[in-house]
Amino acid sequence: MPLALAQARAAAARGEVPVGAVVVDAQGHVIASAGNRVEEWGDPSAHAEMVAMRAAMHLRNKRKLVDCTLVVTLEPCAMCAAAMVHFRVGRLIFGAYDPKGGAVEHGPRLFDREACLHRPEIIGGVSEQESALMLKDFFDQRRKKPHNIQIS
C-alpha cells in the first residue's frame, strides 16, 4: 500500500484525482504501478487500476493476472472491477471505501453477482484513513480554487 499511496500523491501533484495502484506477483515483487492519468491523457478509462493492470499484463506477456494482487487506494469503480474480472486478478486489496462510485462493497457489488465470471479475494480498508484523507484534501482544495467563469 505505501507504493500505491505514493502513486496517488504523484497523481494529485499532476492535478489528477489521487488514486494509486500497484500490481504485485505471488512472490511479492512489484510488476507495475500507476496513478490516475485521466486528465493528462484525456482518457476517461485511464484509472490507476486500469493503467497498472495493462502495464503488468504487457510486462509479463500474459493475459491473466491470477497469481497477482492488485493494491489500490480507493474501492474500484464498476469499470475497474469489471476489468479485474477479465484480467482474472487473484486478489484485490483496497484502501478507502467509496459509497458513491465503488462497485465492490457498494453500488453494484460486481463480484457478488451470480453471473460474475471470476471473483478475486477481497481485502478492503487497508490504510483506509490515509487514502480517504488524501481524497478529501484534494477535493477540498479543488472547491477552494476560484472558477474561471467568463460572462459575456
Q: Position 99: which residue type?
A: P
Predicted local distance difference test score (pLDDT) of residue 62: 85
Q: Is 16 one of the catalytic residues?
A: no
Grid-cell match 496513478, residue found: 35
Measure the CA–CA gap between 23 and 136, rounded to whole angstroms. 25
Which DSSP symbol is given to 147?
A: P
Cα of 27 vs its chain's centroid, Å:
21
Predicted local distance difference test score (pLDDT) of residue 150: 56
* Residues in the chain, pLDDT under 50: none
Predicted local distance difference test score (pLDDT) of residue 7: 98
Predicted local distance difference test score (pLDDT) of residue 144: 83
Measure the CA–CA gap between 71 and 69, rounded to whole angstroms. 6
Predicted local distance difference test score (pLDDT) of residue 143: 85
Map residue 145 onto helix, strand or coil.
coil
Rounded to two decimals, the pTM is 0.91
Grid-cell match 462493497, residue found: 105
Q: Which of 49, 75, 105, 121 is catalytic?
A: 49
Cα of 46 vs its chain's centroid, Å:
10
Average pLDDT over the chain reads 94
39 with 14: CB under 8 angstroms? Answer: yes
Map residue 33 onto helix, strand or coil.
strand
pLDDT one-digit tens code per residue, 105-137: 999 999 999 999 999 999 999 999 999 999 999
